[in-house]
Amino acid sequence: MEQDLDKKEGAYTMRTRLREETEAPFRKVRLFIFGASAVSASLGAFISFSRLLAGLSHVPTAAPLSESLGNLAVNAGVIALAAFLISRDLQAGERRLLRMSRGA
């Protein structure tokens, strides 16, 4: 069992990865929530963009342009925020792994 923990998987040992996970136990949950938010906002942006195109094409049943633009802007903001938070969380995890692999 002890040998399995010291076996390298990629750049870090399993022991180092487990230590990193104990320091940030909810990291995977956060990444899931951020990813799900990005996917949800992407779907919303697609729908808002479709409604915007319908409004620009003067479809009689289309939503008002101001509403469609507002929804598209909110969804784009959520996508950008989720991407930023995912990137920041992944970088923090990598820094923790690097620090632990050096023995700190």
Tens of pLDDT, residue by residue over 61-99, are: 998 999 999 999 999 999 999 999 999 999 998 988 888
Nearest to 27 by CA among 87, 90, 97: 90
pLDDT digits (tens, 9 = 90+) for 24-54: 889 999 999 999 999 999 999 999 999 999 9
> 63, 55 in Cβ contact below 8 A?
yes
Nearest to 70 by CA among 42, 85, 51: 51
> 55, 35 in Cβ contact below 8 A?
no
Model pTM score: 0.80
